Amino acid sequence: MKREKTKTFELPDTIVILIGMIVLAAILTYFVPSGTYDRLEDPGTQRMVVNPESFHYIEQTPVGVGDMLLAVPDGIIASASIIVLTILSGAAFHIINKTGAIDAGLGTAMKKLQGGKVYIMLFGIMAMGALLGLRGSAESLLPFIPIAVTAAMAMGFDSITGVALMLVGGIGGYSVSFIDSAFIIGQGIAGLPAFSGIPFRMAAFVLLTLPCALYIFLYCRKIHKNPLSSSMYEADKNLEIAVDTSLAPPLTGRRKLVLFIFLGSFVVLFYGIFKLGFNVRKISAMYFALAVVAGVAGGFTANEFAGHFVDGAKSMMYGVLAVGLARVISEVLTNGNILDTITHSAADVVGNLPGWASASGMFIVQMIINILIPSGSGQAAVTMPIMAPLADLVGVTRQTAVLAFQMGDSITNFISPTVGYFMAAIAIGNIPWLKWAKWVSPLLIILTVECCLILSVATMIGYGPF
């Protein structure tokens, strides 16, 4: 008698998950009542913000199949800046990788790094990510992720380690940034001095970064003892940016020149971000220039350069699709006019909480809304006009309400599939969303609890000025 072969359960691909969420968002527009706030210009920030007293229900505007399909190109177009950055940074790194400069440089460095020095290098990379996050430039983490992944794998760890060093470190800094545009907008809407409350934020930055560093360290130690314990062990063998330092090519003069150009680009990037205020568009242009200069320095012919450039761009297409589809979800919810309804309902829940729990309630609400409105400045314009006066009613300072908004706007950024730069980051490391979510979920719980404790302390001390 012939036995029938049973199909084993296969985890859905990230693209499948995103398409499912788009369909779910469209279905919700049929059941969640459509509602809206009136918008007006805030005199302090010159941005259109909601009038918290103006919420009203409107005629239901469900998103049908046709409109849902049209939202797909709309979402991809709206994500153009992140998509261009992803493609050009991928092309530039691929060209540099093909020169052999990265392999040669890391091979040389790894011969000198033994024992604890490896961890010093790892946490140096994480500190760089935290600094970028503190600057409030989450998208600028993306160009650094390929080198972080390469370095982590060269040291015997995996792609998850590399992505985590930049992403987790960066979001830890972003969650308490005092120079991010979303923070400044939130402070302005709440009527607070632009840079008030910095000392408490710096203390919170240390408290949030430490468990992130410890979590990554313990994971690295586990991988170091048993590489097979990595869920990415097999997948990393095929990763374009994997490095075997034992087979590293020699560090020739031409490769030294490429490394010098590559490392110099980081100096330009940091200077551009911190001093010149580079936006995503300018960073993308810099990576195109880097690709061309590195190709010339690497000795490629014109046709070789073109081939490597196209191959590098093609390697990013999965991430590009993930970024675009992530944006479609919020497009569908916006077109269905249910985002304001969800925000209004959430604010009602917070208003009914006891005073000691209100700040944590605001934080949880912002975490949920952040999944629906990934833009920090956009989220500030929608929620802070509601949360600021609500804070007065429940006995929480407005400074605490802004901190709750900012933490909520950050913590879910390293798991939410609607956040474009996050999806691009794990795509660069070729990490399926479900595998990443499984790895990061315990840390997410730890940070959520810690944020609630920090906000409780802020409530008790009357974190202000008001």
pLDDT at 394 over 70: yes
In a domain, 446, yes or no: yes
Question: What pLDDT does residue 455 have?
Answer: 94
pLDDT at 173 over 80: no
Question: What pLDDT does residue 241 have?
Answer: 54
3-state secondary structure the chain: CCCCCCCCCCCCCHHHHHHHHHHHHHHHHHHCCCEECCEEECCCCCCEEECCCCCEECCCCCCCHHHHHHHHHHHHHHCHHHHHHHHHHHHHHHHHHHCCHHHHHHHHHHHHCCCCHHHHHHHHHHHHHHHHHHCCCHHHHHHHHHHHHHHHHHCCCCHHHHHHHHHHHHHHHHCCCCCCHHHHHHHHHCCCCCCCCHHHHHHHHHHHHHHHHHHHHHHHHHHHHCHHHCCCHHHHCCCCCCCCHHHCCCCCHHHHHHHHHHHHHHHHHHHHHHCCCCCHHHHHHHHHHHHHHHHHHCCCCHHHHHHHHHHHHHCCHHHHHHHHHHHHHHHHHHHCCCHHHHHHHHHHHHHCCCHHHHHHHHHHHHHHHHHHCCCHHHHHHHHHHHHHHHHHHHCCCHHHHHHHHHHHHHHHHHCCCCCHHHHHHHHHCCCCHHHHHHHHHHHHHHHHHHHHHHHHHHHHHCCCCC
Question: What pLDDT does residue 239 have?
Answer: 63
The CA dihedral of 412, 415, 418, 420, to the nearest 10 degrees, is 100
Task: Give the pLDDT band of residue 107 (cuts 50, 70, 90).
Answer: low
Task: Give the pLDDT band of residue 100 (cuts 50, 70, 90).
Answer: confident
pLDDT at 10 over 90: no
Question: What pLDDT does residue 448 have?
Answer: 94
In a domain, 18, yes or no: no
Q: Are 422 and 164 in contact (CB under 8 A)?
A: no
Of 61, 96, 150, 159, which Cα lies nearest the Cα of 299?
Answer: 96
In a domain, 394, yes or no: yes
Q: What tokens does 166 get?
A: 């930049």
pLDDT at 11 over 90: no
Task: Give the pLDDT band of residue 114 (cuts 50, 70, 90).
Answer: low
Please give the residue that has the higher pLDDT: either 102 or 373. Answer: 373
Mean pLDDT, rounded, of the chain: 82
Neighbours of 361 (CB within 10 A): 23
Task: Give the pLDDT band of residue 245 (cuts 50, 70, 90).
Answer: low
pLDDT at 47 over 50: yes
In a domain, 41, yes or no: no
Question: What pLDDT does residue 248 have?
Answer: 62
In a domain, 330, yes or no: yes
Average pLDDT over residues 50-70: 90
Average pLDDT over residues 72-93: 85
In a domain, 416, yes or no: yes
Question: What pLDDT does residue 111 have?
Answer: 64
In a domain, 57, yes or no: no
Question: What pLDDT does residue 7 have?
Answer: 52
In a domain, 27, yes or no: no
Question: What pLDDT does residue 369 have?
Answer: 85
- The residue range of the domain holding 158 is 67-461
pLDDT at 112 over 70: no
Please give the residue that has the higher pLDDT: either 58 or 339. Answer: 58
Count of domains in the chain?
Answer: 1
Question: What pLDDT does residue 28 have?
Answer: 92
Average pLDDT over residues 237-260: 70
Task: Give the pLDDT band of residue 6 (cuts 50, 70, 90).
Answer: very low
3-state secondary structure 444-462: HHHHHHHHHHHHHHHHHHC
Average pLDDT over residues 300-325: 86
pLDDT at 271 over 70: yes
Average pLDDT over residues 37-54: 75
Q: Rounded to whole angstroms, how far apart are CA atoms 413 and 421?
A: 9
